């Protein structure tokens, strides 16, 4: 299984920030893992052009389940692919909270993304209140059941699950290593029950205040096959050491 270091730029990045891509490519011309940046849509095609021929892959941050039509402001999986994307993040907690996305809508998007040949990175994670109430695994189980496609449309690495505890995103707080390991083991077991032995090859990412100082310890955990990184992916100086740690794990 080839591990994945994915960066989510969220609603950040202007034309001048494309310079960070050249730095990242120079820092990791041939990393021993997959390397992905998901910029805002305004930068996607230009970033893909700059990354062409390099080890860096480019992805979108969301897509619509429909292939085209009267959906003002939305973008289809085919449009992402046409702009140079190979991946798409779906069901991020910020989309679920800010736009009312449901498990069912995420599932429809994931199926549409896979059908067009994009790697779908489906996000799951509990709130602080859910963690404190002891319902983390029940919440994750429900999100997995409702958000993932019914079957693996292609090879196992075309569907990725990212565990991002909502209370750890951008806060500087992270779960303990034991807590991360518990959730990732639960996710793996759940996927195997759903998809069979092929799910052993699905990549599971951890996200939530991942940085150079804690990356190696997180990547050493079983069933952690990479990271979905937010703020630390905006600058090569912050993201490149995370890629290094993953490649060495």
The one catalytic residue in 101, 164, 184, 223 is: 164
Kindly list the distances between the CA atom of residue 47 and the CA atoms of 8, 84, 219, in Å, as whole numbers in the listed order. 13, 8, 27
Structure tokens that stand for 41 in this block: 């849509």
**Is 164 one of the annotated active-site residues of the chain?**
yes
Q: What are phi and psi of 206, to 5 degrees?
A: -105, 140
* Chain centroid to CA 195: 20
Place of tokens 């940046």: 37
Could you tell me if 152 and 158 are in contact, meaning their C-beta atoms sit under 8 angstroms apart?
A: yes
Instruction: Classify residue 149 by its DSSP letter.
Output: -
**Strand boundaries in the chain, DSSP class E:** 4-8, 34-38, 56-60, 87-90, 119-124, 159-163, 204-206, 226-229
Structure tokens that stand for 29 in this block: 């011309």
Instruction: Please give the full DSSP string across 180-221, using - where no structure is assigned.
Output: HHHHHHHHHHHHHHHH-GGGGGS-EEE-SS--HHHHHHHHTS
Could you tell me if 242 and 227 are in contact, meaning their C-beta atoms sit under 8 angstroms apart?
A: yes
The one catalytic residue in 64, 87, 92, 184 is: 92
Please, which residues bridge with residue 34 across strands? 4
Residues with catalytic roles: 92, 164
């Amino acid at each position: 299984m080839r591990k994945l270091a994915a960066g989510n730029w969220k609603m950040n990045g202007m034309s001048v920030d494309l310079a960070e891509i050249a730095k990242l490519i120079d820092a990791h011309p041939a990393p021993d893992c997959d390397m992905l940046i998901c910029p805002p849509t305004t930068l996607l095609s230009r970033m893909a052009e700059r990354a062409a021929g390099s080890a860096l892959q480019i992805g979108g941050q969301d897509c619509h389940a429909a292939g085209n039509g009267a959906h003002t402001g939305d973008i289809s999986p085919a449009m992402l692919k046409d702009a140079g994307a190979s991946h798409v993040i779906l069901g991020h907690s910020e989309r679920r909270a800010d736009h009312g996305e449901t498990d069912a809508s995420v599932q429809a998007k994931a199926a549409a993304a896979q059908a067009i040949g994009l790697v779908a990175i489906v996000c799951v994670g509990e709130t602080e209140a859910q963690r404190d109430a002891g319902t983390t695994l029940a919440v994750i189980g429900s999100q997995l059941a409702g958000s993932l496609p019914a079957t693996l449309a292609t090879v196992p690495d075309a569907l990725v699950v990212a565990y991002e505890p909502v209370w750890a995103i951008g806060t500087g707080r992270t779960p303990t290593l034991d807590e991360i390991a518990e959730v990732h083991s639960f996710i793996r077991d759940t996927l195997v029950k759903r998809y069979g032995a092929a799910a052993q090859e699905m990549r599971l990412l951890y996200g939530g205040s991942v940085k150079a100082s804690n990356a190696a310890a997180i990547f050493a955990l079983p069933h952690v096959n990479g990271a979905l990184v937010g703020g630390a992916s905006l600058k090569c100086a912050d993201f490149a050491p995370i890629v290094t740690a993953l490649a060495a794990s």
